[in-house]
């Protein structure tokens, strides 16, 4: 499980694949000092994992092609 490490406590990332959950996870990781690109990658990875676990792989965030 991915976690947000702070000096006071460890906060796990929220589980889910909604836009609201992804946004919350990105904000939490950036607040913990992660670069934006890393925070986005972690949040999207967790959302994809959650969607697949829920049996809804079509709802998982799609990777952008360059």
- Tell me the pLDDT tens digit for each residue of 4-61: 555 545 678 888 999 999 999 999 999 999 999 999 999 999 999 999 999 988 777 7
The pLDDT of residue 28 is 94
- Model's pTM, two decimal places? 0.74
Q: What angle (nearest 5°) sits at the alpha carbon of residue 4, between those of residues 50 and 29? A: 85
The pLDDT of residue 62 is 76
The pLDDT of residue 58 is 79
- DSSP secondary structure letter of residue 2: -
Residue 14's alpha-carbon distances to 29, 41, 45, 54, 64, in angstroms, are 11, 14, 12, 14, 23
Q: Measured between alpha carbons, how far is 66 from 54 in angstroms, rounded to an integer?
A: 28
The pLDDT of residue 56 is 87
The pLDDT of residue 13 is 85
């Amino acid at each position: 499980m991915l976690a947000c490490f702070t000096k006071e406590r460890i906060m796990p990332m929220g589980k889910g694949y909604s836009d609201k959950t992804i946004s919350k996870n990105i904000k939490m990781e950036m607040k913990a000092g992660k670069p934006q690109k890393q925070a986005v990658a972690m949040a999207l990875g967790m959302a994809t994992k959650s969607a697949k676990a829920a049996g809804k792989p079509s709802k998982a965030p799609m990777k952008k092609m360059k």
